[in-house]
Amino acid sequence: MTKLSRRSFVGGAAAFIGAPALIGCATVPRRWTLDPFTLGVASGSPSPDGFVLWTRLAPEPLSFDPFALAGMRGDAVELAYEIAADPELRTIVARGTARADPAFAYSVHIEAEGLKPGRPYWYRFMSGDAVSRTGRAMTSTAPGAPLERFKFGFVSCSNYEHGYFAAYRHLADEQPDAVVYLGDYIYEYASPPDVVVRRHSQIAEITTLADYRNRYTQYRLDPDLQRLHAETTALMTWDDHEVQNDYADRWSEDFEDPERFLFRRAGAYQAYYEHMPVRALSRPNGPVMRVYDRYSFGDLVEIALIDGRQYRSRGACYAPPDKGGTHFETDASCPERLDERRSLLGVEQETWLYDRFDRSLARWNVLASDVMIGQFHFPNPAGEATFTTDDWNGYPAARTRLLSRIRDSRLSNPVTIAGDMHSFWANDLKLDFDNPSSPTVATEFVGTSVSAIPPPYEAFAAQLSSNPYVRFFESRVRGYASVTVDHGTMTTRFNALADVRSPTSAISTLKTFVIENGKAGLVAA
Ligand code: FE
Ligand code: CA
């Protein structure tokens, strides 16, 4: 793969037309021998007057050459961009330049401002004689301003090795106002051959910044994922596989030294930043990076995206198997699970979130969690209730705090969405799951994986009778969810692919749920 001898562009002497001369940057290449915009474009983090626009220069996207990041070498490169009011880019409303910095793998993050609320714009990037594809981005409607209708999709768990991303294509076809990415956007591990549909470019588990960069690059070359980013505006959070399966803050799945693991996490977080349309507040500082945020869409919807990984307390009864660990499942023999001091979000994020509950102006309040909130237990060999420690079931006191705050703040129409389970779920969230007369505080929708292999259907389905607040479960299909909201109802559709092993797979609606304004709980439509 090494292409040390190959130059990806020839330097030009003059700055290109229309851009000002720049100080402290490399001479802008006039002529590229390879397209630098192989990874496409993306928009995200919408506000009433703008959004983030992203691209990354990668003329040799999968090159492992350590001295030329995806074919790029040398100083920062200046890019130009244009934002237009029409798809043909005839009416340019904003233009400018941005620095593609080698410290961030020649990615750019533009925070566009001064645009009109609640409408689409079209944009592109230029460098010398190279022009990117045209992207489409939506601004949001100002908090509290009237908005009739809003449509969003939510997706999670796209494992490149386990299938094609037809779900992303079908969601792009729906032209939603925003797409919520709930995590497991990449997978860090190598799959056993029997489940592999197409291979990651590195067969071993990835651990370094260079590895994670290469992994994001490979995913972004997927035409369906690239198109979804180009045509829709992203709201981003992450889960575990952006770093390592089941990690919790600095504690790794394989009991690695926490300081060493934080070094790995820093590389993974940086690569995430470099590839996502996120704001400057997300710029990483070593192993620390903020992704949690909230977005308002008029008087209709507020979406709060939380980070369930970076700040969580260590998993309950975390220990290697030879030292009494139970591999991320616990029963009553682990009272640590119930400890009220433990948190999934960390004190700072919890405070931020509860403050948002108190201040929301929206009719529908969506809490986007990487991992499932609803209670689910299964029996150990002795028949006693056993819980995973990796989602909110491992942090029940924190879950009770969260649901109590939702109720106490009288949050209007709370609905939660989650990923991680590789299966569709619709759950009632009870203030006290062990008390049948306890009120239902919110409804939860869990979306299936875009492609990642599912948990065994029969084993989970057999537990539904002892988990009465799980109202719907299906793990045998891959796909995505789409949600349409107006002032009277929220309609959630679970969409299922015919065959994840086919890039041209058809899609169909598996199930539709309606929630009526002011009434907690589901109505199956
Ligand atoms: Fe996953
Ligand atoms: Ca996960």
Q: Which domains does the chain carry? A: 2-138 (2.60.40.380), 149-524 (3.60.21.70)
Residue among 212, 337, 333 at smallest CA distance from 275 = 212
Identify which ligand lies nearest to the alpha carbon of 372. 2
Helix (H) or strand (E) run with residue 99 in it? strand 92-100
What is the distance in A from the centroid of ligand 1 to the CA of 165? 14
Question: Residue 299 and residue 144: Cα distance in Å, rounded?
Answer: 4
Tell me the β-bridge partners of 427. 444, 470
What is the distance in A from the centroid of ligand 1 to the CA of 245? 9
Condensed to tens digits (0 to 9), the pLDDT of residues 173-186 reads 999 999 999 999 99
Burial of residue 126 (number of CB atoms within 10 Å: 0-12, 13-18, 19+): buried
What is the distance in A from the centroid of ligand 2 to the CA of 356? 25
- Predicted pLDDT of residue 327: 66
What is the distance in A from the centroid of ligand 1 to the CA of 102? 31
pTM summary value: 0.94
In the block, tokens 């065994």 appear at: 456
- Predicted pLDDT of residue 472: 97
Query: Which pairs from 315-324 meet CB under 8 Å and 24+ separation?
Result: 315/246, 315/248, 315/251, 315/389, 315/390, 315/394, 316/342, 316/389, 316/394, 317/389, 318/248, 318/251, 318/255, 318/389, 319/255, 320/255
- Predicted pLDDT of residue 29: 60
Q: How many CA atoms lie within 13 A of 71 on its CB side?
A: 22
Question: Residue 415 and residue 398: Cα distance in Å, rounded?
Answer: 18
What is the distance in A from the centroid of ligand 1 to the CA of 468? 24
Question: Residue 489 and residue 52: Cα distance in Å, rounded?
Answer: 30
Identify which ligand lies nearest to the alpha carbon of 157. 1
What is the distance in A from the centroid of ligand 2 to the CA of 309? 10
Query: CB–CB of 147/77 below 8 Å?
Result: no
- Predicted pLDDT of residue 290: 98
What is the distance in A from the centroid of ligand 1 to the CA of 151? 24
**Number of neighbours of residue 195 by Cβ within 10 angstroms:** 12
Identify which ligand lies nearest to the alpha carbon of 452. 1
What is the distance in A from the centroid of ligand 1 to the CA of 156? 7
Q: Identity (one letter) of the amino acid at 388?
A: T
Residue 483, helix vs strand vs coil = strand
Ion ligand 1: residues, CB within 5 A, are 157, 184, 452
Condensed to tens digits (0 to 9), the pLDDT of residues 451-475 reads 999 999 999 999 999 999 999 999 9
Identify which ligand lies nearest to the alpha carbon of 185. 1
Identify which ligand lies nearest to the alpha carbon of 423. 1
- Predicted pLDDT of residue 142: 97
Residue among 337, 450, 452 at smallest CA distance from 385 = 337
Provide the residue-wise pLDDT of the chain in tens; the chain has 525 residues.
Answer: 222 233 333 333 333 333 344 444 555 567 899 999 999 999 999 999 999 999 999 999 999 998 899 999 999 999 999 999 999 999 999 999 999 999 999 999 999 999 999 999 999 999 999 999 999 999 999 999 999 999 999 999 999 999 999 999 999 999 999 999 999 999 999 999 999 999 999 989 999 999 999 999 999 999 999 999 999 999 999 999 999 999 999 999 999 999 999 999 999 999 999 999 999 999 999 999 999 999 999 999 999 999 999 999 999 999 988 887 766 889 988 999 999 999 999 999 999 999 999 999 999 999 999 999 999 999 998 999 999 999 999 999 999 999 999 999 999 999 999 999 999 999 999 999 999 899 999 999 999 999 999 999 999 999 999 999 999 999 999 999 999 999 999 999 999 999 999 999 999 999 999 999 998 776 655
- Predicted pLDDT of residue 27: 52
What is the distance in A from the centroid of ligand 1 to the CA of 6? 38
What does residue 232 show for φ and ψ, rounded to 5 degrees? -135, 165
What is the distance in A from the centroid of ligand 1 to the CA of 449? 7
Residue among 273, 271, 225, 282 at smallest CA distance from 40 = 225
